[in-house]
Structure 1
Amino acid sequence: MVRVELTPKEQKMLLKYCQSIDRNIYERIMYAPEGTMNLLIEDCQYLRGCIQLEMEHITIPKIQNILGRISNKLSTNPVTRSVAEEIEGQNFESMDDLNNHLQGFMMERNTAPDPEMGGLSPEQVTLLIYSRWDREHFPLKFNAELEMSDLKQSSFFQNVRTLLNTLLEMEKEKTATVRGNLNRKLVKTIHDRLILEKRDKEFVSHYKKVLNEEDVFPLHIARIVSGCAGLIHKRKDKFLVKKKYQKLLSDENAGELYTLLFRTYFETFNLSYLDGFPELYSIQHTIPYSLLRLKELCKGDTSLEGLHSKILLPAVQEEVREEIPKLVQADWIIRSRIIRPLEAFGLLNCTYEKSNMPFSQITKCRKTPLFDKFMKAEW
């Protein structure tokens, strides 16, 4: 719903010059108490269309200005609405005066903290979500000087190292299938070396006599992300670790490998592959904002219920509401694409619900000391 407040003059002009408006909406405007209405987004869009149509036939500048002001008030774009509110009731001697006023207003607005964006300004959010991660002006800074002792709790990092070391051990053997997966021999060899959750081990032991790569999902994702990062490549019937990256397997370079994997996972790897929900690319595109919000929010045990409304930008929340099926909760997507991966990177500790089901859900999370040690924001 959009709250629209019209002055008596605007109310009168809208009714006088836009008589082609649908009768129900026309009467709502006519009888709106003090010109105040709550309209559906589609009703606002419909009214703006009617106004634009009528303005094509109106030549009197004063009337055009009033109808244009009403159109701005009906906009669902918060920037357009804020501009309309700023200039309402003000008189400017020239267009230059108006432009100078708006320039100052927008500069102030873009640098002011916005409660709907976690207290960040629009300018800061723009830097976060539109900067490449490897650029100097990107606000999130990652500590590539971490030591191996810092990363013991990162199952994903440890599993990738295990995969790369195993591929080096077996570099003279066939390790790839025709389809481009790890072959069964390698999967069998590596399985007991991996750090897996109890539920993953039980699933394999109960239901799988022969293991394919995709039966061990953490290994499957480790292989894909390693490929995205350029650490491995397939040559005929083998997966090989690229020579220039083999040095990253030393303990001294643990932080560098961890940083490369983290950036690749959240910037390059398609997070929607982790679940069967719609792609919703805006979640991944704005992930730096979500990471920063989690860093601030998860100092103690933080409930996952409603967490999406705190770590996603308003426009992303709207897209999620529009795109996901009715029975799907937005928090489920946050859990699979952000919370669980951060847990695997050792940045979050998660609390799971008590359940007899094989796949229990995360109910709470809190950041680990590694989160602050690895990532910080610099503006």
Structure 2
Amino acid sequence: MKTGRNAPCPCGSGKKFKHCCASGSHSLNQELKESLSNETFNSFEDVKAAAERLVAQQNQTVRDDFLGLSSDQVYKMLHFPFDTPDVFQFSEQLDIEPSAPILMLMENIISAIDEKGLKATKISGHLPQKVCKEAWNDYCKRQGPDDFLCSLHSVNKELDFIPLHVARITLELAGFLRKTKGRFYLTKKYQKTANKSGLKGLYPLIFKTYCNEFNWSYWDGYNEVPFLQQSFLFTLYLLKQRGNERVLTSVYKDDFLNAFPSVLEEMEEDTYFTPEQSIRRCYQSRVLDRFLVFLGLATFETIKDSKDIGHQYKIKKTPLLEAMIHFNFSPPKTDKTVH
């Protein structure tokens, strides 16, 4: 069946066919004609094999819009992120002690559970008020006295503190926490991993669970746009490439939209923002902040002298990124003048 020009490209890049492989189809056809005309074939199968080799070669050619990745590498990132060890590998046990906001919130939960378990709230089945308040107080101490949210917000229940709620859900999805007869218990899986490896062994499982099983759109008000989560490994590649220096988050948004412009079609236009404005805001909140920063892979720095105070940031990778993932290829050099 012929691929429509507005259909997703079969290479798996996430772009429309007309903006991806179709744009090079004319040159590829010409290259095929020239290559095949200079060879002698004994059968149709030989012709087909030669054509397939040429197409595969094109798919393995690096592309500027993918920042030095090939269509084949991006396809593997999008569809087999944890099953392509020849291209990228995730650590099963870290060689450094991890630090991340999600881990700090999980520690608030874990430390409150003894062998008798922790009684959940009767109606909602959530964490008790005491745990929520203590977690919030610890969070505000880390944020400092000038934090705007801490100065205005108060916490009385789990849903008043959504990051804590997300941490609890992730613990359950990872198989580290269970609720039985109205009480929370730490599982044998948690005990075994924690006793053997501590956070160095727990974090990789938490990371994989957050990427694979937790729905990132759950804690924001934007369209679901599942592609933002599906492409998490491409974002990690961007951080790997640019993260040695603090760079404006707008650079990451530009890179992402240049690589996957068709993602704009997943965002509806509303009264106040265009699809591009909405996807940029969503990418910063859902991916850069609530993935990279929340999992301790990057840090934000607010631009204090910005005209749009509180909404412009620079981002930089942490050592945890290098400890967690290894790309088995050499990323291209980036322009260090980009800030």
* Whole-angstrom distance in 1 between the partners of 2:254 and 2:123: 44
Q: TM-score, normalised by structure 2?
A: 0.75
Do residues 112 (structure 1) and 61 (structure 2) align?
yes
Aligned to 1:320: 264
3-state SS of 2:68 partner: coil
For residues 125-140 of structure 1, the aligned pairs below 5 Å read: 125-133=74-82, 136-137=85-86, 139-140=88-89
Do residues 222 (structure 1) and 167 (structure 2) align?
yes
Greater displacement, 128-137 / 93-102? 93-102
Unaligned 5+ segments in structure 2 are 7-16, 38-42, 330-339
3-state SS of 2:90 partner: strand
Q: 1:347 aligns with which of 286, 297, 300?
A: 297
Aligned to 2:111: 165
For residues 240-279 of structure 1, the aligned pairs below 5 Å read: 240-250=185-195, 252-279=197-224
Residue identity matched to 2:311: Q
- Give the C-alpha shift of residue 109 in structure 1: 0.4
Kindly indicate which of the two structures has a greater share of residues assigned to helix: 1
Aligned to 1:307: 252
Kept after mapping to 1: 8 A contact 2:93/2:197:
no
* Whole-angstrom distance in 1 between the partners of 2:195 and 2:129: 27
Greater displacement, 297-306 / 81-90? 81-90
Aligned to 1:151: 98
Q: TM-score, normalised by structure 1?
A: 0.68
Compared CA separation, residues 310 and 203, structure 1 to 2 (3 A): closer
- Give the C-alpha shift of residue 365 in structure 1: 0.7
Kept after mapping to 1: 8 A contact 2:94/2:323:
no
Q: Among the aligned pairs, what percent are the same residue?
A: 22
- Write the deviation string for residues 59-103 of structure 1: whole angstroms up to 9, x where unpaired: xxxxxxxxxxxxxxxx71532342333334948789667534422
Aligned to 2:235: 290
Do residues 236 (structure 1) and 236 (structure 2) align?
no
- Give the C-alpha shift of residue 226 in structure 1: 1.0
* Whole-angstrom distance in 2 between the partners of 1:202 and 1:248: 37
Aligned to 1:175: 120
- Write the deviation string for residues 130-150 of structure 1: whole angstroms up to 9, x where unpaired: 215266456132261334xx3
Kept after mapping to 2: 8 A contact 1:204/1:215:
no
Aligned to 1:124: 73
* Whole-angstrom distance in 1 between the partners of 2:87 and 2:214: 19
Compared CA separation, residues 201 and 83, structure 1 to 2 (3 A): closer
Kept after mapping to 2: 8 A contact 1:144/1:256:
yes
Aligned to 1:82: 24
3-state SS of 1:162 partner: helix
RMSD, aligned α-carbons = 3.4
Kindly name which structure, 1 or 2, has the bigger radius of gyration based on alpha carbons. Answer: 1
Kept after mapping to 2: 8 A contact 1:231/1:245:
yes
Kept after mapping to 1: 8 A contact 2:117/2:185:
no
- Write the deviation string for residues 275-334 of structure 1: whole angstroms up to 9, x where unpaired: 2111111111121111112111121111112422314673x3322255243513433122
3-state SS of 1:346 partner: coil
* Whole-angstrom distance in 2 between the partners of 1:203 and 1:114: 42
Kept after mapping to 2: 8 A contact 1:350/1:362:
no
Compared CA separation, residues 329 and 200, structure 1 to 2 (3 A): farther
* Count of aligned positions: 301
- Give the C-alpha shift of residue 234 in structure 1: 1.5
Compared CA separation, residues 251 and 364, structure 1 to 2 (3 A): farther
* Whole-angstrom distance in 2 between the partners of 1:124 and 1:215: 41
* Whole-angstrom distance in 1 between the partners of 2:156 and 2:146: 12
